[in-house]
Amino acid sequence: MAERCILIVDDDETMVSTLARVVSQDGHRAVTALSGHEGLRKVADCAPDLVITDLVMPGMDGISFVRSLKAIDPALPVIMITGHGSIDSAVEAMREGAFHYLTKPISMRDLLLYVSKALESREALAENRYLREQLEKRYRHETIIGRSRAMREVMDHVEQVAPSTATVLITGDTGTGKEVVAEAIHFLSPRTGRPLVKVNCGALPDTLVESELFGHVRGAFTGAHRDRQGRFEAADTGTIFLDEIGAMTPAAQVRLLRVLQEGEFERVGGTSSIKVNVRVVAATNQPLEKAVEERTFREDLYYRIKVFHIHLPTLQERHEDITLLAHHFMNKYAERNKKRLVGFGEKSMQILESHSWPGNVRELENAIEYAVVVARGDRITALDLPRDLRPSREPDDRIVLPVGISAAEAEGILIRRTLDLTRGDKDSTAAMLGFSLRTLYRKIKEHGIPLDRGDKSYIAPPLPDNPQPPDVL
């Protein structure tokens, strides 16, 4: 194990000196302190990987010291040293977060054993925290983002399988984010920094699938004027993502099975075997079990690619993530389009949450991008959303006013009709009329317009009778 910094805290100078010598001989750097207060100062200076402390010390006892340490770094392991008469207190220190306690007289062999265990525990926690932070930093978007139980399970599966060499099959409806999950698996694997090659098998012509995946030699077929490297060669030492794998031709399936079994293949028209070290991640939005039954997909290949299975939920199945995703996409596209947006109007969010989202996260992202582009205020309103998301019955957007009414009456009618058009969404109404929200509320009060209408449309009162022909605003 590499050198680690170990802080030793005890009011007994002889004990401190002895412990420092033992851990130093074991290959670690020892830092010492003669009190809890001095120990806390040393923590700030040297950022230790482990603390060894006595339980009974003047000024600040060991339990108070542990509490202070955990407030600074909750993951910092602490080994407590105590006498036989203070074991109950040592157990209390364990409850406060101490890693282990040793009773005097101390066996140096036991001490080094628990020092090693404590440092290993810290390394494991640090590694797990780093992986999670990196995953969240780079891939916590689109389908990876989410607080729902279903998405937490997906995240857990990604973190479980990523460090392994297992072949992964990702299933889920169109738009659920299978490619993003494949990227996350590659990024968290030991192959990160190596090639990640993506292939949409459904987009390749049947006649070119084998050549595209495995390459070809010159003269293999009409148009093959030179040797060409395939996608598997390009992905060597890395990961290949085979999207829509159910569309792969029978001949390509045979070649893929051989790669998975033996790690080698021949280019189309070639005779020399090419060895590759490639991890395969496949995806499909179709039930491969049915394809196996219909003999359009090889059963042995099916079980080879389904070593580890991750299923992505639909957006409806993770309904509680809609708000989180909507805000994420709003921020993403607002920054891209240099717009200042702070959120959604109440009605617009109601529409988003009530939509069925057959196109899943991809459909939601497209809708929010559109809304960001057309938004005129600092919030996305119901009228900013694509028309196919809005309720089917839209109120008439024209206002007919008789000649001769006062400007105040006209303003009141205009506000009522705009509220009717927006179905009571005051953010949208204010944006359309060019009012601040505060001004809109003031004018609503001035004109005696009821505020509490729920989700019902605002119905304007009948216009005053007037024999003169109307003007259209």
How sure is the predictor about 141, in pLDDT bands with cuts at 50, 70 and 90?
very low
How sure is the predictor about 22, in pLDDT bands with cuts at 50, 70 and 90?
very high
How sure is the predictor about 337, in pLDDT bands with cuts at 50, 70 and 90?
very high
Quote the CA–CA distance of 95 and 92 in Å, as a whole number.
Answer: 5
Region 316-389: CATH code: 1.10.8.60
pLDDT given at position 361: 92
Q: pLDDT tens, 200-212?
A: 998 888 878 888 8
**Helical segments of 84-229, H only:** 87-95, 108-139, 149-161, 178-188, 209-214
Structure tokens at 78: 């602490």
Nearest CA among 249, 239, 248 for reference residue 277:
239
How sure is the predictor about 392, in pLDDT bands with cuts at 50, 70 and 90?
low
Q: pLDDT tens, 48-92?
A: 999 999 888 888 888 888 888 888 888 888 998 887 666 677 677
Nearest CA among 103, 96, 85 for reference residue 63:
96
Nearest CA among 187, 49, 47 for reference residue 125:
49
For residue 468, is pLDDT > 50?
no
pLDDT given at position 130: 59
Q: Burial letters for 6-32: b for 16+ Cβ neighbours within 10 Å, e otherwise? A: bbbbbbeeebbeebbebbeebebebbb
The class level of CATH for 149-311 reads alpha beta
Q: pLDDT tens, 152-185?
A: 899 889 989 999 989 999 999 999 989 999 999 9
Q: pLDDT tens, 251-307?
A: 899 999 999 999 999 998 888 889 999 999 999 998 999 999 999 999 999 999 999
pLDDT given at position 206: 81
Question: For domain 400-472, is the CATH number 1.10.10.60?
Answer: yes
- Segment among 186-190, 336-340, 389-393 with least mean pLDDT: 389-393
> Is there a shared CATH topology between the 5-127 domain and the 149-311 domain?
yes
Structure tokens at 77: 């392991």
pLDDT given at position 334: 93
Quote the CA–CA distance of 105 and 108 in Å, as a whole number.
Answer: 9
Residue 310, number of CB atoms within 10 A of its CB: 22
**Domains of the chain: which residue ranges?**
5-127, 149-311, 316-389, 400-472
Q: Are 281 and 260 in contact (CB under 8 A)?
A: no
Does this model's pTM top 0.95?
Answer: no
Which CATH superfamily includes the segment(s) 5-127?
Response regulator (3.40.50.2300)
